[in-house]
Amino acid sequence: MTRHKDERLPVIGWREWVSLGELGVDQIKTKIDTGARTSALHAFDVRQFTDHGTPHVAFIVHPRQRYRLPAVECVAEVQDMREVTSSSGHKDVRYVISTDVSLAGLTWPIEITLADRDPLGFRMLLGRQAVRDRFLIDPGSSFMAGRKQKTGLTKVKTERTS
């Protein structure tokens, strides 16, 4: 059996609850996706604007899948525009922002692309750049950093299309 170079790294599962404190997102269920280079966040009603000569985006996040509330209004500086290829092979150009993410008692800055993830199972993907040299990932476990409590959310019925 081969040992990892640093067994002191915390172990997380293939899905975890994270927070994006700078954006006002207290908890969002996130898929840990080592197949994705960059992290991705479900965002809609994305509007670009300029503040003191610097490009910014305003957008809304529904952090809970299939829930209308909470709707978190976010603002961030645009770091880049990047062409991203989805797992289905579709290419599109996305805004890239930088923000702090918190997981398992750690907080660090990451890059996130803004994408329409509404029909997908997770509102956020935490890509390999974000977890590299910070965690070991147990693909057979979930929520190893802790579970979050459900509180007063309004569930929305969604239609699925094939």
Tokens (6 digits) for 143: 């929520």
Residue 109 lies in a domain: yes
| Lookup result for tokens 């660090």 | 108
Secondary structure of residue 22 in the 3-state scheme: helix
How distant is the alpha carbon of residue 103 from its chain centre?
A: 11
Q: Which value, in Å, is the radius of gyration of the alpha carbons in the chain?
A: 16
Position 146 scores a pLDDT of 86
Q: What is the pLDDT of residue 150?
A: 54
Tokens of 5: 């170079």
pLDDT of residue 1: 42
pTM score > 0.85 for this model?
no
Residue 19 in any domain: the answer is yes
Q: What is the pLDDT of residue 74?
A: 97
**Structural domain of residue 94, as residue ranges?**
11-125
> What is the number of domains present in the chain?
1
Report pLDDT for 71. 92
Q: Is residue 47 a contact partner of residue 85, using CB atoms and an 8 Å limit?
A: no
pLDDT value for 132? 95
Running along the chain, 162 residues long, what does each successive block of 10 average in pLDDT?
66 96 95 94 95 97 85 96 85 96 96 86 93 95 81 39 38
Instruction: Quote the CA–CA distance of 117 and 123 in Å, as a whole number.
Output: 6
pLDDT at res. 6: 60
User: Is residue 80 a part of any domain in this protein?
Assistant: yes
Is position 131 within any domain? no
pLDDT recorded at residue 8: 85
pLDDT for the residue numbered 133: 94
Does residue 4 belong to any structural domain of this protein? no
CATH number at residue 51: 2.40.70.10
3-state secondary structure of 150: coil
Please give the DSSP secondary-structure letter assigned to residue 14: S
* 52 part of a folded domain: yes
- Position 147 in a domain: no
Q: Which helix (H) or strand (E) holds 130?
A: helix 128-131
**Looking at the domain assignment, is residue 156 inside a domain?**
no
